[in-house]
Amino acid sequence: MDVFPQNLLVAFILSLYVSGRAYRLDILQRNSEPSEGNVRLSGSESPSEGRVEIYHDGKWGTVCDDNWDIAEAQVVCRQLNFPGAKSVVIGKDYGTASGPIWLDEIACTGKEKQLVSCQFSGWGKTDCTHKEDAGVVCESKNDVTISGSTNSLDHSIGLSGDLGQIFDRGTACDFLITFQTPSGNKKDDGTEEMTETTICAHKAIIMLYPYFSASAGANNITVTVNKPCQSYFTSFIRYLYTRKTDITYSSAMCLHQLASDFGIKQLMEDIGRLFSNVLPDDASFHSQVSLYKYAVESKDLVLEENCVQYMAWNFQNLTGSPVWADLPVELLRRLLTRSDLVVADEYFLLQTLEGWITNNGGSLSSENQADLLRLIRFPMIPAEKLYELETKSLLFSAHRDLYRDSVLKAYQFNVLLYSNLTQLKLAKENDDYKPRIYTGETWSTTIVPGAKSSSSQSRNQYMNYGYRDSYGRYGGYYPSPTESPNKQLSTPLHSSLLFKNNMITWEANVLKTQNECSWRGLRCESFPAARLALRNQYQSTSGVLFRNRLLLTCQNRYVCQIQGFKGDLAYVSTNDTQVLAYPCPDDKYTYTFVVRPEYV
């Protein structure tokens, strides 16, 4: 088991020291106090129906109804000791919900014992509002018709503590776990000297964990633990009894390693999510790359995704960092496959990749170079830049056929309608025709709160009697709202040359009060709210759908959140409905609005 990188240890210690927090992971159900992963139903008079809420990090929060189906409902109902689920509930008003929206896009098989065991992208990662809280109707005991009546009694409260006492006392233990730790010294024969410590455990508990091979005939096992984690091994074994542990700055890395090595997936992933807090702390990206390598080695898919996502969102910072020249090929490949990669435009990405390949050409085969270049979405490169590739590309001559085929496909995209591309089987299910998140001036605009609006003219336009807004109201009959940060952006209807002269105008706002929302005919659920709305109409028959994005940049240093718009609105709320993917001290954001047209 490799030692966790020292720079990450320091970063994590500082993160938890500043916050003054220890994280408690409590996975056993039915405790007298709410425990990590507990669920409950709220907002209904019936105990078997209501809004689904889940307990995490000391707070109850809700679940978004995106992807919510009967499999997820079955898990919730069984976790609450109901026989099963009758139906899912979407869009029902169960009263006002408070707290964060903890889960979104959750996917269960229906066989999980706890909702937290299902797949989800991360705690608090959502673009939902409380109007989209998920609910369930569970089967009550009276709904189950069987011969005779069965009444369920649950006296499991305190079971975790009782099991902890059994471990602490060691009474009737029958399975010896010896863990060896290198002492740092050498024996006379040159082999490494090991120190040994033995824990007496109970086979009935340990046999639940396959790694320990506590079969009927076995009564001991010897394992190796690195010296820095030696002092936490007893706490780790105790967790196997109680499913509860406190995570501190000194224990986090070792408990994560132990959970990985011994196959305790839920503990590993829950601790791994905490590491997201330290990702923004290192502008050199050494920590992020090291943590990614560690996640791959430990097979922590959640931690791995958090690392890759952070580097995708902050890709331009990564390309200017000291680690860029030696970035692992597999990590670069992972980044190039993503549609949430944030770059100025696709041409910038191609130039950056060509520079990287040129610097690493000696260690890359021609086929590996070509594999990376094929991940560039040539149809998304601005048409005027395509003409320059043959003369300005660093690798055109070395990969002439690849470039010519890719440029031809890009030209076809620019001169053929999408229906023709589909008929030619050029565009169907092909990411080459899907935009990333392009922050160049063609497709984005940025609002810095506190800065003077650059669109005073547009504000005055609302007061002209001859001006009719998008809601059909004449500005002269309505008072001007309190000035909110706003900008206008003109973009083509689509990136294809077919729409080059078909310009549309967007208005971007950061709305801070209900008065500002009401003036625009909106009712905002929380503040601040970001709005990106069309100022002029376009024909829906064009087959273009806008999947726009809002980027929150923290303190002008790193992108801490990317979210979509529901209609024209995206809510930015770090204390109630939404938790940032990566923390931002003092909530000091710059708002970047990105227009992303796609063919449909």
Strands 175-186 and 192-201: antiparallel
Report yes or no on 375 lying in a domain: yes
Q: How far apart are CA 54 and CA 62, in angstroms?
A: 6
Q: How far apart are CA 316 and CA 314, in angstroms?
A: 6
What CATH number is associated with residue 112? 3.10.250.10
pLDDT per position as a tens digit, 194-244 = 999 999 999 999 999 999 988 878 899 999 998 889 999 999 999 999 999
pLDDT per position as a tens digit, 318-343 = 999 999 999 999 999 999 999 999 99
Report yes or no on 414 lying in a domain: yes
Strands 49-56 and 59-63: antiparallel
| 471's tokens | 């809601």
Report yes or no on 530 lying in a domain: yes
Check whether residue 392 and residue 511 sit in a common domain: no
pLDDT per position as a tens digit, 529-581 = 999 999 987 665 467 889 999 999 999 999 999 999 988 999 886 545 567 88
Check whether residue 329 and residue 193 sit in a common domain: no
pLDDT per position as a tens digit, 388-439 = 999 999 999 999 999 999 999 999 888 876 666 555 555 556 789 899 999 9
Check whether residue 403 and residue 300 sit in a common domain: no
Check whether residue 371 and residue 519 sit in a common domain: no
Higher pLDDT, 447 or 192: 447
Q: Which residue among 248, 273, 298 closes a domain?
A: 273
Check whether residue 241 and residue 285 sit in a common domain: no
Report yes or no on 457 lying in a domain: no
Check whether residue 507 and residue 398 sit in a common domain: no
Strands 503-511 and 549-554: unpaired
pLDDT at 140: 82
Say if residue 478's pLDDT is above 90.
no
What pTM did the predictor assign?
A: 0.77
Check whether residue 443 and residue 579 sit in a common domain: yes
Are 140 and 48 within 8 A, CB to CB? yes
DSSP string, 123-170: TT-----GGGBEEEEEPPGGG---SS--------TTHHHHHHHHHHH-
Pick from 448, 521, 529, 545: nearest CA to 127: 529
Please state the domain count of the chain: 5
Q: Which residue among 338, 364, 380 closes a domain?
A: 338
Check whether residue 87 and residue 235 sit in a common domain: no
Cα angle: 271, vertex 213, 117; to 5 degrees: 35
Check whether residue 251 and residue 302 sit in a common domain: no
Q: Could you give the count of Cα atoms lying within 13 Å of 563 in the half-sphere of its Cβ?
A: 31
Domain range for 211: 145-273
Are 285 and 317 within 8 A, CB to CB? yes
Report yes or no on 17 lying in a domain: no
Check whether residue 42 and residue 110 sit in a common domain: yes
Check whether residue 70 and residue 99 sit in a common domain: yes
Q: How far apart are CA 257 and CA 2, in angstroms?
A: 8
Q: Which residue among 287, 313, 338 closes a domain?
A: 338
Q: Highest-confidence range of 2-11, 118-127, 477-486, by mean pLDDT? A: 118-127
Report yes or no on 31 lying in a domain: no
Higher pLDDT, 485 or 463: 485
DSSP string, 510-579: EE-SHHHHHHTT---SSSSEEEEEESS---GGG-EEE--EEEEEETTTEEEEEEE-BTTEEE--TTTT--
Check whether residue 259 and residue 384 sit in a common domain: no
State which H helix or E strand residue 460 sits in: helix 456-461
